[in-house]
Amino acid sequence: SQTIHQWPATLVQPVGSPLSLECTVEGTSNPNLYWYRQAAGRGLQLLFYSVGIGQISSEVPQNLSASRPQDRQFILSSKKLLLSDSGFYLCAWRHYGYTFGSGTRLTVV
Amino acid sequence: SQQGEEDPQALSIQEGENATMNCSYKTSINNLQWYRQNSGRGLVHLILIRSNEREKHSGRLRVTLDTSKKSSSLLITASRAADTASYFCATDDSSYKLIFGSGTRLLVRP
């Protein structure tokens, strides 16, 4: 069956620390993968998407980067977190509709 | 950037009533999708309507699409307390990016 995994569920990190959030998909090959961020009480903002290994498109300038080292793995990173990076991060996989991971709530303190 | 704008931002109804949420968008689309999000959780895909479709049903959900007005509506009939959630519309264009609106927070009072 096709599933998407995202971890960790919750993360508290100090300002200036690095970040690595991982998303993996099972049961499909060559998926289109996406990273979204959701501020409290708001809609989702598209951060990055990838249509294949090593192919990353960035939607907004920011302190974050993404990488796709394997077909079914999508990683969101930062070298130095800012307070404004706090939010709810969602990974998604596109097929007929989109399937979302369960999200990571990041609090930068 | 946000493509869709939902209306109303918040809606409170009594259990058993119908709930209608509207979405407007700005550019041409391949399809429009509606998602549900329970508090602090991931999004769940509800229904997809293609640009050449005008109406679609799924259980208690009814979605309409008017491409001339660039708008869509989601109707939930016979609402239940368990329908309490945030609902988002999202547009899918030829660039394969899904762009979300700001959402409608629905509260169904038992």
For chain A positions 17-56, those within 8 Å of chain B (CB to CB) are 32, 34, 36, 42-46, 49, 51
pLDDT in the model for residue B3: 59
pLDDT in the model for residue B95: 72
Whether A46 and B99 lie within 8 Å, measured CB to CB: yes
pLDDT digits (tens, 9 = 90+) for B30-55: 999 999 999 878 899 999 999 999 99
| pLDDT for residue A12 is more than 80 | yes
Length of chain B: 110
The region of weakest confidence among A10-19, A47-56, B58-67, B96-105 is B96-105
Residue B82, φ and ψ in degrees, nearest 5: -70, -10
Whether B45 and A103 lie within 8 Å, measured CB to CB: no
CA nearest A45: which of A56, A58, A30?
Answer: A58
Nearest beta carbon to residue B48 from set A51, A90, A97: A97
A89 Cβ contact list (under 8 Å, min separation 6): A21, A35, A36, A37, A38, A76, A103, A104, A105, A106
DSSP codes, A48-74: EEEEETTEEEESS--S-EEEEEETTEE
B1 band by pLDDT with thresholds 50, 70 and 90: very low
CA angle A34, A36, A41 (to 5 degrees): 155
CA nearest A68: which of A85, A81, A80, A56?
Answer: A56
pLDDT digits (tens, 9 = 90+) for B76-94: 999 999 999 999 999 988 7
Residue B83, φ and ψ in degrees, nearest 5: -80, -10
- Nearest-by-CA chain A residue for B86: A41
A9, amino acid identity? A
A50 Cβ contact list (under 8 Å, min separation 6): A32, A33, A34, A56, A57, A66, A68, A74
Q: Measured between alpha carbons, how far is A5 from A24 in angstroms, rounded to an integer?
A: 5
Nearest beta carbon to residue A98 from set B1, B2, B45: B45
In this structure, are residues A108 and A83 in contact, taking their beta carbons and an 8 Å threshold? yes
Distance from CA of A48 to the nearest CA of B (A): 10
Grouping H, G, I as helix, E, B as strand and the rest as coil, residue A84 is helix
CA A47, chain centre distance (Å): 8
- Interface check for B34 against chain A (CB to CB < 8 A): the answer is no
pLDDT digits (tens, 9 = 90+) for B22-31: 999 998 899 9
- Interface check for B41 against chain A (CB to CB < 8 A): the answer is yes
- Interface check for B45 against chain A (CB to CB < 8 A): the answer is yes
Q: Is B56 exposed, middle or buried (0-12, 13-18, 19+ CB in 10 A)?
A: middle
| pLDDT for residue A2 is more than 80 | no
Task: Show residues of chain A in contact with B100, CB under 8 Å.
Answer: 36, 43-46
pLDDT in the model for residue B97: 80
Whether A99 and B45 lie within 8 Å, measured CB to CB: yes
Tokens representing B19 are 């709930």
For chain B positions 2-21, those within 8 Å of chain A (CB to CB) are 2
Grouping H, G, I as helix, E, B as strand and the rest as coil, residue A76 is strand
